[in-house]
Amino acid sequence: MENILKLEQKIVPELIELLEKRHDILRTICYNQPIGRRILSDHMCISERIVRNEINFLKSQNLIEVNALGMFITSDGEEIIHQLKEFIHEIKGLSKIEKSIEKHLKLKQVIIVPGDVEIDKSVLKELGKAAANYAMDVIEDNSIIALTGGTTVKEVVDSFPKNNKYKNILVLPARGGMARNVEMQANTLVARLADRIGGNYELLHVPDNLSNAALETILNEKEIKNIIDKIRSADILLYGIGIAKDMALKRGIPQKKIRELEELGAVGEAFGQYYNELGEILYSTPTIMVKNEDVKHGKILIAVAAGKNKARAIIATEINRSSTVLIIDEAAAQKIINILEKRE
């Protein structure tokens, strides 16, 4: 199939481009239905004229339905999306990019979702679905699952289908809370995931950034210590990756320390640890949750991130994590490759 794709790209490249565009339109409708033409146009950053022409074609092929509420995907449309998934992956050469990133960062596996989340918001939903599918394959009866908060992790949790096929699952927060965005915090997502997979959950209602004195006091509480021990011994850890400065601001780190981190070259954050481009830890916030040393002992690590603006953060936080499965969008992957090639 690879040779045929190369021939098609040389002889009829416009055909490949049209295929990709129609696939992206179908996918966007699928994840946002019902959706109107103008919103679809804004969502995908393409003109209404192009959208109108493509919608007329897709409707004539019975791939979408259009009514007063907007556009809906049909069962035929869903089947097309499913069948084209691997084909689109090969057209874009994403398998080779996955292997290249795996090799350079020394990761267990890289999964790339086609598209750019900064241009097409439905890419984030596709990424969430890919991560949820991977997680469902590795979850076993009696598993302990820990997860952080954040927009991308929320999308993963929302992508889990309702099921009760696992027994005795425990879901726990891998981070503490912040003063805002409760719907995206670890505690909220823990309860939601446990409900979706028929598991149990335990919560810790404590802020993420504590003083060392407060941390020591909390750790003396037997009940809290028992939960923390479970979190740190989790079998599966699902987490997002942050840009160092953005996460420092969100977590309320003093401006003086943020400036210091910038001067030291901090680019990425995960688990309250701030990393430079070489993957070295520059600063660790006091936290009772998962720490860097807790992710080196045979856990299944699932890292999710989207957007080319996170490329440096992804490299910094994930380099040499041999247990990590990294799930990212195409734009982030391309940027990562560009950075790695320049370093060489």
Structure tokens, 133: 């599918």
User: Which of residues 90, 106, 126 is at a domain's end?
Assistant: 90
Distance of CA 261 to the CA centre of its chain: 25
- Per-residue pLDDT of 159-201, as tens digits, reads 999 988 899 999 999 876 655 667 888 889 999 999 999 999 9
Domain shared by 97 and 117, yes or no? yes
**What pLDDT digit, counting tens, does each position of 286-329 carry?**
655 566 665 665 589 999 999 999 999 999 999 988 889 999 99
d(CA 192, CA 309) in angstroms, rounded, equals: 29
Tokens read off for 211: 């003083």
Contacts of 133 (CB under 8 A, 6+ apart): 159
Chosen domain end from 73, 90, 107: 90
- Within this chain, do residues 74 and 182 fall inside the same structural domain, yes or no? no
Strand duo 300-305 + 324-329: pairing: parallel
- Identify which of 124, 131, 128, 110 has the alpha carbon closest to the alpha carbon of residue 337: 110
Coil/strand/helix, residue 243: strand
| Residue 285: domain span | 93-343
Please classify residue 86 by burial: count the beta carbons closer than 10 Å to its beta carbon, then call 0-12 exposed, 13-18 middle and 19+ buried. Answer: exposed
Instruction: Say which CATH number the domain at 123 has.
Output: 3.40.50.1360
- pTM (2 d.p.): 0.86
Domain boundary among 47, 67, 90: 90
Cα–Cα dist 118/126, whole Å: 13
- Tell me: pLDDT of 279 over 60: yes
Q: 143-157, pLDDT tens digit by residue?
A: 999 998 889 999 999
Number of folded domains that form the chain: 2
107/43 same-domain check: no
